[in-house]
Amino acid sequence: MGFWQDKKILLTGGAGFLGSHIIALLLKKGVLIEDIKIPRSNETDLRKWENCVESVKGVDLVIHLAAKVGGIGFNQKNPASLFYDNLMMGVQILEAARQEGVPKCVMLGTVCAYPKFTKVPFHEDDIWDGYPEETNAPYGLAKKMLLVQSQSYREQYGYNSIFLLPVNLYGPRDNFNPESSHVIPALIRKFIEARDAGNKIVSVWGTGNASREFLFSEDAATAIVLATEHYNKSDPVNLGAGKEIKIKDLAEMIKAKTGFQGDIFWDTTRPDGQPRRSLDTSRAKREFGFEAQVSFEAGLEKTIEWFEKARIEGVIR
């Protein structure tokens, strides 16, 4: 048990996609479920200071995952709320944890914080070399301010806060809502629904030439737990698989794995988003021994299998 012995943990976003995988891993490590405090957004609005103060009481560790997120379309429709909500939740949780004397705070950033045109692979030192891609800049900048806060709190107060930069995540229990999902769950749903309806064409945003890197949710949970246990420095750390794939190739792969027999129409009136995304993951390996274990093909198959089952069981409608 070691590090986790008798720890009381505040896991914001614990009821969400990534949070569910972290909880599963913590339980395997011997943490008791009653020792994990999970504020629910419909009951505890972390944009309000008093709720943050109440949430950090009596805990030994904060892992801040809670975020308002979505794909390109969602980002275009909600730039103001994405900026405000993510900034206020993160800033106030970290300040409340510091005031309460919580020994350590783990803050989750985003690959969207990187400049639009960053040399590949993205290294943590590149994060201030330009402005983020326009469609997700408000979200990315809100998260990047938490890096500033984390580093300044360590410098002024000696406070132990760390900042992690995960790449795009995917896996079972992801968000498959067409209004707010990211690219992998969105494509899985589109192809399966088109297959079942007998449709001949699936429309996909952009040219397909942009690239992305993806990290399987279970690997992401492992990385966060390892960093929580072993990392105690100011420098941000990338969390990724170290590989990129073009959206065009991704779509063809999902098409094949879902059994869709029709054609793909590339809607070039829609944006591609950031041209390329791929992370240098050497710091995570060096500092706390993290390397992704699940191959992209295996992770994709697990995600598709989960979605198919969830639809049959009525978990997703």
Residues identified as active-site: 139
Task: Please state, in angstroms and as integers, the Cα–Cα distance from residue 143 to each residue in 106, 202, 262, following that order.
Answer: 13, 33, 39
**Coil, helix or strand at residue 264:** strand
* Bridging pattern class, strands 245-246 and 211-212: antiparallel
- Asked if 213 and 133 touch (Cβ cutoff 8 Å), the reply is no
Q: Which residues contact 2 (CB under 8 A, 6 or more apart)?
A: 229
Task: Please state, in angstroms and as integers, the Cα–Cα distance from residue 260 to each residue in 113, 315, 316, following that order.
Answer: 35, 22, 20
The 10 Å CB-count burial string (b at 16+, else e) for 6-28 is ebbbbbbbbbbbbbbbbbeebee
CA 83 centroid distance within chain: 16
Within 10 A of 249 (CB to CB), how many other CB atoms are there? 12
Per DSSP (E only), the strands in 211-312 are 211-212, 214-216, 237-239, 245-246, 263-267
- The residues facing 201 across adjacent strands are 263
Give the separation between CA 183 and CA 69, rounded to whole angstroms.
12
